[in-house]
Structure formats: C-alpha cells, structure tokens
Amino acid sequence: MMTAPITATPEPAATPAAERSATPAVVPHPAAPTRNAAAEQAAANQRIAMRRRTEIAARIAAPLLGILVFLTAWYAISTMGSIPGPAKTWEAAKVVFGDPTYKNGPNDQGIAWKVLGSLERVGIGFGLAALVGIPLGFVIGRFLFLRNMAEPVISLLRPVSPLAWLPIGLLVFKGAAPAAIWTIFISSIWPMVINTAVGVQRVPQDYLNVARVLNLSEWKVFSKILFPAVLPYMLTGVRLSIGVAWLVIVAAEMLTGGVGLGFWVWDEWNNLKVENIIIAIFVIGIIGLALEYTLLMIAKRWQYD
C-alpha cells in the first residue's frame, strides 16, 4: 500500500472557499426546523409506536397460540381414551396443590416435599460434581499432559447412560439415597469438566501476555485473568450440568424410591392415577425451565461485552 502523494485533485463535494465567503447569507441548511419537519417527526414517531404495538402483540400472541395448539392436541388425544384431558388434570391439580405440605408417613407427602426432595438430591449431587468437576476442568485445561491423560477416560465414560451408574452406586454406597446422588454426580460432572477445560484453553494469549509482562503472581493470574476469562464457559457447563441432573433425577428416583417427583410418577403409575403423572410432568418441566432461566440470568451478568 502506497501513501498517496497529495495531489491537486479538487474534491467535488467541497465548495471553494472564495465562493463561500462571497455568498454568506444563502446558507439555509442549519436553520431552525420548519413546521413541516416537526410534522414529519411526529408521523415517524407514530409509525414507530404502531410498529412496536404490533410487535408486542405478536410477541404475546405467538406463545399463547402455541399453548392453545398444545392444549387442543392434548384434548384430542384424551378423547381417544387412556390419557386424561386438560379439564380432568386441572381438577386433580387443584387437589394436589390444595394441600402441598401434608405429611402422611414417610412415603406419602405433599407436592412441596416431593419437589424439595428432588431438588435436594439434585443439589447435593450437582454440588459435589461442581466441586470436583470445575477444578478438574481447570487443571485439565492448563496442563497438556493431564489433558492427554484425561481425554480417553472422559471420552469413554461420558456417553454412558446415567442409569448404568446406579447399580455401581447401590453396591458401593449400600443405600438408595446415596446411589441416586451418585448417579446425579457422575452424569452431570462431564459438561462442567469439559466446558471449563475448553474455557481455560481459549483464554486469549493476549491476556496471558499481559500477565507475563506484568509478571503477576500465580494467584493474581488465576483470580484476575484465568478465572474471569473462563467464567462464561464454566457457567455454560454448569447450566448444561444442571439440565442433565434434572433429567436424571426423575429416572433415578423411579428406581430408588423416596420422597421425590420421580418416585411420585412411578407411584401414581402403580395407582393408575394418570392425571397426577401429567401434573408431575408439568412440575418437572417448569422447574427445569426455572433452573435453566436462573442460570442464564446469572451467566448474562458475567458477560463482559
């Protein structure tokens, strides 16, 4: 690329200075806005407001329409017999949520206790997975040798169906409750390990160069550069892990029993109270959605640009 020498080519857009100074009064351009301009502005505002209203209407209408289609399909299927329809499920839901905190013995408790029971197992299993998985991800990401060591093992274990781990848990921990937690732990740990490790590898070299030039201590490198740079990846891992944990808990509880949503589904299947199974499905879906949404919100707070 050549630096162009300054030539005498006249710029077509610029008025020659002499001409400008000869006719100083004829410059209407920056004058005050006329009534016409104000009217145009108002019309534009109106158009914008109108468009925004239709946009908002569409934003609200589309999901409502989706739910309506879903309910219709559900109703249509229910008319065929075996599945209770929306109305019947609604009646059953009133009963279930009418007394959410009753306790009739160890295995018959209100919906609130079931939800809490499931959340507690997920919380413990997932919490332990985070405690182990995130630091593991950091060291795997930082040291190539460890990464190469871990890779075959992780690749082998990760695709294993969660429930295959349950018998191992039952054998080792000699109890249903810890086995369920173990299953959550082992199946939800991988997204955190992998995403954290990828995040560490993707820390821009520029930032690490800054660390080297400033000669920062190991702790400062970790707290001021590595950790914040990896955090978004880590939170993605956490979100995926919680998703997996919540998926797995239902299946695990079906097999291990105890107070929880999964066992409730199984129990109601044995009682043939299908409307309660449908309620359970909704509750599971809504809680999963809430977990996902909460973590998305947290992740958003840690987005840097």
Partner 1 sequence: MERYLHIEQAGMIFETRQGAFTALRDINLEIQKGEFVTLIGHSGCGKSTLLNLIAGLTLPTSGYLFLSERQIGGPGPDRGVVFQNHSLLPWLTCFENIHLAVERVFAEKESKAQLRERTQKALEMVGLTQAAEKRPHEISGGMKQRVGIARALAMEPKVLLLDEPFGALDALTRAKLQDELMRIVAATGSTVVMVTHDVDEAVLLADRVVMMTNGPAATIGEILSIDLPRPRERLAMASEPRYLAARKAVLEFLYQKQLKAA
Q: Find the shortest distance in angstroms from Cβ 301 to partner 1.
A: 11
C-alpha distances (whole Å) from 118 to each of 36, 115, 155, 247, 263 are 66, 5, 29, 11, 10
First and final C-alpha spacing in the chain: 33
Q: Given the complex with partner 1, which of 232 and 258 has the nearer CB atom? A: 232
Nearer of residues 9 and 82 to partner 1, judged by Cβ: 9
5 versus 81: smaller Cβ distance to partner 1 = 5
Q: Which is nearer to partner 1, 156 or 297 (CB)?
A: 297
The distance of Cα 251 from the centroid of its chain, to the nearest Å, equals 22
- Residue 223 beta carbon to partner 1: minimum distance, rounded to whole angstroms: 11
Closest of 295, 198, 199 to residue 240, by C-alpha: 295
Which residues would be at the binding site for partner 1 (CB under 8 A)?
2-3, 206-207, 209-210, 212-216, 220, 224-225, 228-229, 304-305
- Write down the least CB distance from residue 208 to partner 1, Å: 10
Q: How far is the CB of 204 from partner 1 (least distance, A)?
A: 8
Contact of 265 with 280, CB cutoff 8 Å: yes
Closer residue to partner 1 in complex, CB, 158/220: 220
- Please state the closest distance from residue 235 (CB atom) to partner 1, in A: 13
Cα distance between residue 24 and residue 230, in whole Å: 61
Spatial CB neighbours of 126, under 8 Å, sequence gap ≥ 6: 184, 185, 188, 241, 242, 245
We find the least distance from the C-beta atom of residue 132 to partner 1, in angstroms, to be: 26
Instruction: Tokens 């490198």: give the residue.
Output: 221
CB 263 within 8 A of CB 180: no
- Look up residue 232 and give its two tokens: 């978004």
Round to whole Å and give the CA distance between 170 and 117: 19
Looking at the Cβ atoms of 181 and 226, the one nearer to partner 1 is: 226
